[in-house]
Amino acid sequence: MIWQQRKTAHEAERTHLLGLAEAAGNEVIRPSQELQDHFAEDVEVDPCNSRYWAWASRLAELNRSLEQQALRPSQPLVQ
């Protein structure tokens, strides 16, 4: 009886952790897709062009977002 309870608890914990891992993966996928779309704009590298600086600024924001999502677990329990 106790063995069955432990097995059930272990399976519940495993399922919960798999859900957390999937959620964390999904949180990282979104910013990486935004990065891919951003690079698809194909802006010419020209330091004199304001469009390039706006593009580079947005790129820095997307990189920070990706780093934060990759380093920050969605659940405080995982932290």
pTM of the full predicted structure? 0.51
> Which is more confidently placed, 20 or 71?
20
- Please state the domain extents for the chain: 2-71
User: Is 77's pLDDT higher than 60?
Assistant: no
pLDDT digits (tens, 9 = 90+) for 56-72: 888 888 888 877 776 66
Average pLDDT, the chain: 78
Give me the long-range contacts of 23-30 (CB less than 8 A, separation at least 24): 23/74, 23/75, 24/69, 24/73, 24/74, 24/78, 27/69, 27/74, 28/66, 28/69, 28/70, 30/69
Percent pLDDT > 70 in the chain is 87
User: Is 79's pLDDT higher than 50?
Assistant: no
